[in-house]
Chain A
Amino acid sequence: MCPMHLASIDSSKPLPGLYTHLFWLLLWGVIWNGTGCKQAKDPIPYKAQPYPLAIPASLPDMDIPEDNPLTVEGVALGRRLFYDPILSADSTQSCASCHRQAFAFVDSSLQLSTGIDQVQGTRNAMPLFNLAWQGSFFWDGGASNLESQVVGPITNPVEMHEDLPNVVVKLNRHPEYPNLFRQAFELDAEEAVTIPMLMKAIAQFERTLLSGDSKYDHWKQGQASLTDQELRGLALYQDFEKGDCSHCHVLGSTFSDFAFRNTGLDSIPVDEGRYRITLNPADLGKFKTPSLRNIALTAPYMHDGRFQTLEEVLEFYNTGFHHPSNLDANLEHAIKGRLTVQDKEDLIAFLHTLTDFNFIQNPDFSKPD
């Protein structure tokens, strides 16, 4: 066909042939765009950019779920949602109401936080940093991943007490959120904001909350020195006969193995802890081992915030723990009264070297403008 056509395009009569070709090419174009079950959707005007996550040298590599990669747009959206009271039923509380950056994202000095209905919860708000290395969330590990955790506080009657369908309505009729979600998740114009998208966005922001820039880290990197007292504390931290902290709050990196343990807070647990999730009697009274990074900022302590100071915590591990049948093995043989007053002061001095002042002042984590 082509050679014939080329031959037919006479220099004296070029136009009719050209028009014919143009006509058919146009028709093809129309058919191409109009074929019945085309897969192509409207052109996507946004391409979310990969988030340049800078993991501190003191922390390990991070596994990120394949279906929720970090993007600049997603992290920014999650950050905005984290600070927005729109997620609570009466628009008075955001995630940040009980998770405050200045306190490594715990609820300042409150033992128990109060929800929108002025009802107190039963557990101390957990700090938020280095979350990607934790296998499950909440004190009892009930949330199986960071995304799934998000709807817990939003719907809990003693927290933000909101219905998820209502959240969907509020976000979709908001003047800005639909476009922000569209950019973060590369949505078509007609696609609505959903709860799974909300969960993914907040989880993205939370994965960027990294803390690994403390005096201890600087010392490890040869950029700072520890005092004699801090060094004595470090030795006690690792001494199995004395502090014995490092069995569970593994030295360095995340400063916890995040396992569930019964540390003998009560002879008969008031709160069932991990048992509530697994129904395994061996899990009664077990709670997640928290990181000791930023521990000087996150008082009060334990799952129920029963201890106001680090001194109280150390005295509990020194003399106060009970012996329930599933007491953690590392405490089982610990001799009561093994720590002197000086030992405790030294340990506390070391624990203060784990505070990351850059983390609590990082403008990337604060309330967005």
Chain B
Amino acid sequence: MNSIFLQNTRFSIALYLLFTIVFIGLAGCKKEDTATHSPVLVHFQTTVRGAEILPGTGEYQNSFGQTFRFDMLKYYISNCALIDANGEAFELANHHLIDIEEPSTATLAFDSIPNKSYTHFRFFVGIDPQHNHDGDQEGALDPVHGMLWSWNTGYIFYKHEGSYLNAAGEWKQLLFHYGTDEAYTEVIIPVDGIDLNGKERSVFLNFDIGKLYDEPNAIDFFVDNARQSVSATDRDWLAKQKENVPNAFSFDRFE
């Protein structure tokens, strides 16, 4: 009796163990197989002609030679996608708020992107019209970030608040609140053939505020220095600014 029982106990232990191992395999944290998917980090390097942006202290010049500073710089990057050589897009529906004072926000992390070669990274500056007119959204769209126009429900896509030196050498307020549905702008950047193979890859993109205020439409701070998009008098500036947006982003490298 004893030996049979012991034998059976061992057998049951073995079976339980087997089931337990299988069970852990099934119920445990199932990550995407690295044979088919890879994590990708996209870093937005925001500068003025390559110079680091230092809120409050850094001084920069636009193409008119006008000196300006930043007190605040925040912007939304939405609906990113990686596009392959056939034009097929792997969509990463999302809204990200990048705040220059919080460096961690400049990195967008995507957990699992199918392993293959991609030729372009696509995103939009701003918030898509489907999400642009609802204030009670959590996360990046939470109005607590100060990016919602509450009197005319919609998000400020790009917010630069700071100052500029006027002709008399006095610091005056510089304020750009760029938004509205028509300002939602697509940017497609060639990324020089990223080949995903299961390892984490990092894509480094440049966002040059110098170009944003210059190419092709040079923004004269003596004329355009307090623009909020939503007034009739802001419309010319808005159109010029929108044209500049795609030119301000470029591919730097991947690692």
B133 at the A/B interface (Cβ < 8 Å)? yes
B138 at the A/B interface (Cβ < 8 Å)? yes
B135 to A, closest residue via Cβ: A148
Contact in complex: B20, A28 (CB < 8 Å)? yes
Contact in complex: A142, B152 (CB < 8 Å)? yes
Contact in complex: A8, B142 (CB < 8 Å)? no
Contact of B12 among A5, A36, A196 (CB under 8 A): A5
Q: Mark B1-15, 1 if CB is under 8 A from A, else 0.
A: 110110011011101
B16 at the A/B interface (Cβ < 8 Å)? yes
Within residues 39 to 55 of chain A, which ones have a CB less than 8 A from any CB in chain B?
Answer: none
Instruction: Known A31-B20, A195-B142, A195-B143; judge A142-B27 contact (CB<8 A).
Output: no
Residues in chain B near residue A270, CB distance under 8 A: none
Contact in complex: B137, A196 (CB < 8 Å)? yes
Q: Count the B residues whose beta carbon is within 8 Å of the partner chain — how many?
A: 36
Residues in chain A near residue B30, CB distance under 8 A: 37
Measured CA separation A156–B150 after assembly (Å): 9
B151 to A, closest residue via Cβ: A142
CB distance from A319 to the nearest CB of B (A): 33
Contact in complex: A200, B134 (CB < 8 Å)? no
Measured CA separation A164–B9 after assembly (Å): 64
Residues in chain B near residue A17, CB distance under 8 A: 5, 8-9, 12
CB distance from A86 to the nearest CB of B (A): 16
- Most chain B C-beta atoms within 10 Å of own C-beta, residue among A27, A150, A196: A196
CB distance from B233 to the nearest CB of A (A): 10
A329 at the A/B interface (Cβ < 8 Å)? no
Within residues 91 to 142 of chain B, which ones have a CB less than 8 A from any CB in chain A?
Answer: 133-138, 142
Contact in complex: A145, B144 (CB < 8 Å)? no
Residues in chain B near residue A12, CB distance under 8 A: 1
Residues in chain B near residue A143, CB distance under 8 A: 135, 150-151, 153
Measured CA separation A98–B12 after assembly (Å): 74
Q: Binding site of A, secondary structure by majority: helix, strand, loop or mixed?
A: helix
Contact in complex: B153, A148 (CB < 8 Å)? yes
A10 at the A/B interface (Cβ < 8 Å)? yes
Measured CA separation A8–B11 after assembly (Å): 11
Contact in complex: B8, A5 (CB < 8 Å)? yes
A-B contact count (CB 8 A): 120
Within residues 124 to 173 of chain A, which ones have a CB less than 8 A from any CB in chain B?
Answer: 138, 142-145, 147-148, 150-152, 155-156, 164-165, 168
Measured CA separation A145–B11 after assembly (Å): 65
Residues in chain B near residue A16, CB distance under 8 A: 5, 9
Measured CA separation A164–B149 after assembly (Å): 13
Residues in chain B near residue A5, CB distance under 8 A: 8, 12
Contact in complex: A148, B150 (CB < 8 Å)? yes
Residues in chain A near residue B144, CB distance under 8 A: 164-165, 168, 194-195
Instruction: Known A28-B20, A279-B232; judge A20-B148 contact (CB<8 A).
Output: no
Measured CA separation A165–B146 after assembly (Å): 9
Measured CA separation A156–B148 after assembly (Å): 12
Residues in chain B near residue A4, CB distance under 8 A: 8, 11-12
Instruction: Known A8-B8, A28-B20; judge A151-B143 contact (CB<8 A).
Output: yes
Residues in chain A near residue B11, CB distance under 8 A: 1, 4
Contact of A37 among B20, B24, B29 (CB under 8 A): B29
Residues in chain B near residue A21, CB distance under 8 A: 12
Measured CA separation A37–B24 after assembly (Å): 11
A137 to B, closest residue via Cβ: B153
Measured CA separation A151–B30 after assembly (Å): 41
B146 to A, closest residue via Cβ: A164
Measured CA separation A143–B137 after assembly (Å): 15
Contact in complex: B235, A279 (CB < 8 Å)? yes
CB distance from A63 to the nearest CB of B (A): 15
A259 at the A/B interface (Cβ < 8 Å)? no
A13 at the A/B interface (Cβ < 8 Å)? yes
A223 at the A/B interface (Cβ < 8 Å)? no
Residues in chain A near residue B133, CB distance under 8 A: 144-145, 148
Residues in chain A near residue B134, CB distance under 8 A: 144-145, 147-148
Between-chain CB contacts (< 8 Å), 24 pairs: A4-B12, A10-B1, A10-B5, A20-B9, A27-B16, A31-B23, A143-B151, A147-B135, A148-B148, A148-B150, A148-B153, A150-B136, A151-B148, A151-B150, A164-B144, A165-B146, A194-B144, A195-B142, A196-B142, A276-B152, A276-B230, A277-B152, A279-B230, A279-B235
A contact set with B: CB distance below 8 Å: 1, 4-5, 7-8, 10, 12-13, 16-17, 20-21, 24, 27-28, 31-32, 35-37, 67-68, 138, 142-145, 147-148, 150-152, 155-156, 164-165, 168, 194-196, 199-200, 203, 276-277, 279
The 6 A-B residue pairs with the shortest CB-CB distance, nearest first, are A37-B29, A36-B29, A148-B135, A147-B136, A8-B8, A144-B153
A28-B23, A148-B148 known; 4 new pairs, CB 8 Å cut-off, are A8-B9, A17-B5, A17-B8, A148-B134
